Homo-oligomer: A and B are copies of this chain.
């Protein structure tokens, strides 16, 4: 059970009810120090006009996977604030579920760096990659001062 996911904001729908996280509807299926995996059933509202997973949803999942990878064990007090996100769209995603994996690259005093990748679980195809730079801020301060 080394990958068991503790109680957290992402698995506690009352904490994100009515937000974009609820709209996405992913679950955090693996979370350990420096790593996070999200799994999401794809619905029509996640797709573009030609039927593929929308690039904006892809960017969202990669952003979140990287942010969460750098927030293990502190997510009740801290928020990961994205500074820069760079996404490479490699192949379209067509199936009815999607996986996003985030990995922490390095944590410094003020910033952390993460990479993420988006997979189609149907054929394990790599559809997109991203790198992100994030600040880690106290959850309360983020609300007060941003």
Contacts and interface: CB of A to CB of B under 8 A. Distances in A.
B45 A133 contact: no
Interface residues of A, number: 57
Contacts of A111: 83
Identify whether the interface residues of A are mostly helix, strand, loop, or mixed.
mixed
A15 B135 CA distance: 34
Task: Kindly report how many copies of this chain are found in the complex they form together.
Answer: 4
Nearest to A143: B50
A59 interface: yes
Interface in A1-51: 9, 15-16, 18-24, 44-51
B105 A139 contact: no
Contacts of A108: 90
